[in-house]
């Protein structure tokens, strides 16, 4: 540690550059002033959110948060409200402002409750505590390893060490369950910073009672237990390995005021928290759009030719481009959609994918391929449209600062990382930016890449079919359906929280909510998979129907979501046919559907009338929302080209 401490200035500098994928603000103080001079509070909020998209240091983060607090806004269209409580065993007060600022970066208005110093157990367990009054939607536990294992002597036997670890994990389980049950909150558990000093040196890894080994094992067991409790992880331990412990922990600050997370690292801490919160709410990016020349390979293929570009073998620069391709391929394998947006001759660009021996990415890995001479923002709109996802789901990677600036200016919702000057740093920069943060890895994620390839085949089939009807008939579609099963929990939760378009109510549900629907049996839950001759589209639609407490034979469509990948396939009609039959078996005589408009769900604005519902004249609490009713006795099944395969009996 002494070697690092002797150069604390360099550490400070490194910490200030932690968030280097974000562009520098041109003039922070001027921009902040101008933001606050805008006419309406909504305009001021939008301006502050734009400013939050920039690289902000320690002081800038505090100033932006101060300005946000002065706006006194409560609800603004386009922004979601989140109540988060951070509970710590050390000082965590300095983390609230960075969490709010990083939330603002994602259009989240975060209200943060900071637990009293070291009082996390009492606050959680005492139902009269301020925490219970606050009633958080998210509980973030930011604890120190010292609190858990400090009493273990280095002479402890393996059994003694195990017993202490077991007790520490058991206590965490109690706290998690309490937070989940008392508030129905999503719990985020931070991994323990491994602040233990080397005692034996490398041999620490071997000694049961060595503090460094204890903390490492505690983290391993913590992550396993968390996963079993549907608790999300904030992996600060891993992050500090990447940045160096001294970027996160400053002994002076610990001694001065029990700050385990160094204040200068707090802006990055806020970013890490907001990523997990964003991932829970379906705000993570979905698609990586790559430039070609000097991004996927070195050189300009139009000038240098297929043989002249720098890629792979024999060149360090060529290997750096291969490394970026490998990383993109790994992202594809975990469910991120890949696209290309390049100023190029399309035939020449495609030829590289087909014929260059060092290409890691194949043409079939790319779900949308735009190589032409058009403006890049236009092409990005084409890509979003083609993939049926929002522009705010795109990350655009381009080595050219002018193209990046152009896209940022015309499409501010597209994420555009500042790429480093050195191609060797491309992968690290993209990875550190954390655009694709996830809280689950589902079978659908694993298959997504193949599903987009299958979609391309479907598009070809559609082009060659004489009519839409003939195309749909030729797809040989089957729907497999049944009530929610425990095994579907992750995917159903993911679908409910990530679906913005086919989602009439945009109600978000935590994994606990969904498992409760599954357990009580009071409500009717249905999940649907769509299979056709090109492949399995996976679990693509889910519905929750709840009997009205006052009129039990009136079933309210509480939640209905469908993946954008299967729009235009008549699935919504078959889903309604199935839902009506299943609900009749439960004694339902009428359905009620509600449409609550958002910026993104226009596609379902006419859904209920199209399916045969008529307008419910009763007024609704939400402005702009409309209610729709259908009497099941009058329901005539809708004709579709989809066959049925019930998975298990419904009803």
Partner 1 sequence: MTDQEILGACTRILQDLLSDDSIALTMTTEREDVPNWDSLAYVSFIVAVEIEFGVKFPVADVESFSDVGAVVRRIKALMAGP
Contacts with partner 1, residue ranges (CB under 8 A): 8-9, 12-13, 16, 57-59, 62-63, 66, 93-94, 251-253, 255-257, 259, 263-264
If the CB atoms of residues 29 and 385 are measured against partner 1, the closer one turns out to be 29
113 in Cβ contact with 84 (< 8 Å): yes
Euclidean distance between CA atoms 419 and 11, whole angstroms: 22
If the CB atoms of residues 264 and 537 are measured against partner 1, the closer one turns out to be 264
Q: How far apart are the first and last CA of the chain?
A: 64
CB of 420: closest distance to partner 1 in angstroms? Answer: 22
570 in Cβ contact with 611 (< 8 Å): no
Dihedral in degrees, nearest 10, Cα atoms 500, 506, 510, 516: -130
Torsion-angle region of 230 (φ positive above 0: left; ψ -120 to 50: alpha; else: beta): left
Residue 79 CA, distance from chain mean position: 16
If the CB atoms of residues 16 and 598 are measured against partner 1, the closer one turns out to be 16
CB of 252: closest distance to partner 1 in angstroms? Answer: 5
Q: Where are the beta strands (DSSP E) in 426-534?
A: 477-482, 524-532
If the CB atoms of residues 7 and 605 are measured against partner 1, the closer one turns out to be 7
Euclidean distance between CA atoms 414 and 391, whole angstroms: 6
CB of 314: closest distance to partner 1 in angstroms? Answer: 42
b/e per residue 55-75 (b: at least 16 CB within 10 A): bbbbebbbbbbebbeebebee
CB of 165: closest distance to partner 1 in angstroms? Answer: 32
- What are the structure tokens assigned to 400, written together? 């050219």
CB of 191: closest distance to partner 1 in angstroms? Answer: 24
CB of 9: closest distance to partner 1 in angstroms? Answer: 5
If the CB atoms of residues 9 and 228 are measured against partner 1, the closer one turns out to be 9
CB of 27: closest distance to partner 1 in angstroms? Answer: 15
Euclidean distance between CA atoms 102 and 98, whole angstroms: 6
If the CB atoms of residues 10 and 122 are measured against partner 1, the closer one turns out to be 10
CB of 572: closest distance to partner 1 in angstroms? Answer: 52
H or E, element range at 568: none
Euclidean distance between CA atoms 155 and 541, whole angstroms: 56
Euclidean distance between CA atoms 438 and 280, whole angstroms: 8
Torsion-angle region of 587 (φ positive above 0: left; ψ -120 to 50: alpha; else: beta): left
Cα-based distances in Å from 537 to 163, 176, 478, 564: 47, 35, 10, 11
If the CB atoms of residues 252 and 457 are measured against partner 1, the closer one turns out to be 252
Residues in the chain: 651
If the CB atoms of residues 63 and 607 are measured against partner 1, the closer one turns out to be 63
If the CB atoms of residues 21 and 259 are measured against partner 1, the closer one turns out to be 259
204 secondary structure, DSSP code: G
What sign has the CA pseudo-torsion 487, 492, 493, 498?
Answer: positive
CB of 61: closest distance to partner 1 in angstroms? Answer: 11
122 in Cβ contact with 145 (< 8 Å): no
CB of 54: closest distance to partner 1 in angstroms? Answer: 17
CB of 254: closest distance to partner 1 in angstroms? Answer: 9
If the CB atoms of residues 16 and 119 are measured against partner 1, the closer one turns out to be 16
With H, G, I as helix, E, B as strand and everything else as coil, classify residue 37: coil
CB of 56: closest distance to partner 1 in angstroms? Answer: 12
DSSP per-residue string spanning 517-557? HHHH--SEEEEEEEEETTEEEEEEEEEEEEE-SSSTTEEEE
If the CB atoms of residues 97 and 175 are measured against partner 1, the closer one turns out to be 97
What sign has the CA pseudo-torsion 428, 431, 434, 440?
Answer: negative
């Amino acid at each position: 540690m002494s070697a690092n401490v002797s150069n604390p200035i360099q550490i400070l500098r490194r910490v200030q550059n932690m968030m280097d994928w974000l562009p520098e603000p041109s003039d922070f103080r001027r921009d902040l002033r101008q933001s606050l001079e805008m006419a309406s509070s909504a305009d001021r909020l939008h301006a502050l959110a734009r400013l939050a998209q920039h690289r902000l240091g320690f002081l800038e983060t505090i100033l932006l948060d101060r300005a946000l607090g002065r706006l006194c806004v409560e609800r603004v269209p386009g922004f979601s409200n989140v109540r988060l409580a951070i509970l710590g065993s050390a000082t965590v007060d300095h983390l609230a402002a960075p969490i709010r600022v990083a939330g603002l970066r994602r259009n989240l208005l975060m209200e943060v409750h900071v637990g009293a110093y070291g009082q996390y157990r009492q606050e959680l367990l005492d139902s009269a505590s301020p925490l219970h009054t606050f009633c958080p939607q998210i509980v973030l536990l930011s604890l120190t390893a010292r609190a858990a294992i400090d009493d273990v002597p280095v002479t402890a036997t393996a059994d003694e060490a195990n017993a202490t670890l077991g007790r520490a994990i058991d206590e965490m389980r109690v706290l998690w369950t309490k937070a989940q049950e008392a508030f129905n909150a999503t719990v985020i558990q931070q991994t323990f910073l491994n602040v233990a000093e080397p005692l034996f040196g490398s041999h620490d890894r071997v000694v049961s009672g060595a503090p460094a080994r204890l903390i490492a094992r505690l983290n391993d067991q913590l992550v396993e237990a968390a996963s079993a409790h549907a608790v999300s992880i904030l992996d600060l331990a891993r992050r500090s390995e990447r940045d160096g412990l001294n970027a996160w922990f400053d002994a002076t600050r610990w001694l001065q005021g029990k700050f385990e997370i160094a204040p200068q690292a707090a802006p990055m801490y806020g970013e890490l928290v907001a990523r997990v919160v964003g991932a829970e709410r379906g705000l993570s990016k979905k698609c990586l759009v790559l430039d070609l020349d000097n991004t996927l390979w070195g050189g300009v293929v139009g000038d240098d030719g297929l043989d002249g570009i720098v890629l792979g073998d024999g060149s360090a620069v060529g290997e750096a481009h291969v490394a970026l391709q490998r990383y993109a391929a790994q992202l594809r394998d975990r469910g991120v959609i890949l696209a290309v947006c390049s100023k190029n001759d399309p035939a020449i660009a495609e030829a590289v994918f087909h014929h260059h021996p060092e290409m890691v990415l194949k043409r079939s890995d790319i779900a949308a391929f735009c190589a032409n001479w058009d403006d890049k923002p236009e092409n990005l709109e084409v890509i979003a449209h083609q993939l049926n996802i929002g522009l705010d789901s795109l990350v655009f990677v381009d080595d050219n600062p002018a193209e990046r600036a152009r896209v940022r200016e015309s499409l501010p919702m597209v994420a555009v990382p500042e790429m480093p000057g050195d191609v060797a740093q491309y992968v690290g920069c993209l990875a550190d930016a954390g655009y694709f943060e996830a809280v689950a890895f589902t079978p659908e994620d694993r298959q997504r890449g193949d599903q987009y390839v299958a979609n391309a085949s479907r598009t070809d089939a559609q082009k060659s079919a004489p009519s839409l009807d003939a195309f749909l008939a030729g797809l040989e579609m089957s729907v497999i359906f049944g009530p929610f099963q425990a095994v579907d929990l992750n995917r159903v939760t993911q679908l409910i929280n990530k679906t913005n378009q086919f989602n009439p109510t945009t109600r978000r549900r935590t994994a606990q909510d969904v498992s409760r629907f599954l357990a009580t049996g009071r409500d009717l839950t249905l999940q649907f998979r769509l299979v056709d001759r090109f492949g399995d589209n996976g679990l693509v639609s889910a519905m929750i129907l709840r009997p009205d407490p006052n009129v039990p034979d009136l079933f309210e469509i509480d939640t209905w979501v469908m993946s954008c990948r299967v729009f235009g396939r008549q699935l919504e009609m078959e889903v309604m046919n199935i839902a009506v039959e299943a609900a009749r078996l439960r004694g339902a005589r009428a359905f009620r559907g509600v449409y609550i408009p958002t910026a993104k769900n226009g596609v379902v604005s006419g859904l209920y009338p199209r399916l045969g519902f008529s307008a419910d004249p009763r007024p609704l609490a939400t402005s702009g929302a409309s209610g729709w009713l259908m009497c099941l006795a009058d329901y005539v099944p809708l004709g579709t080209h989809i066959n049925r395969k019930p998975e298990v009996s419904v009803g």
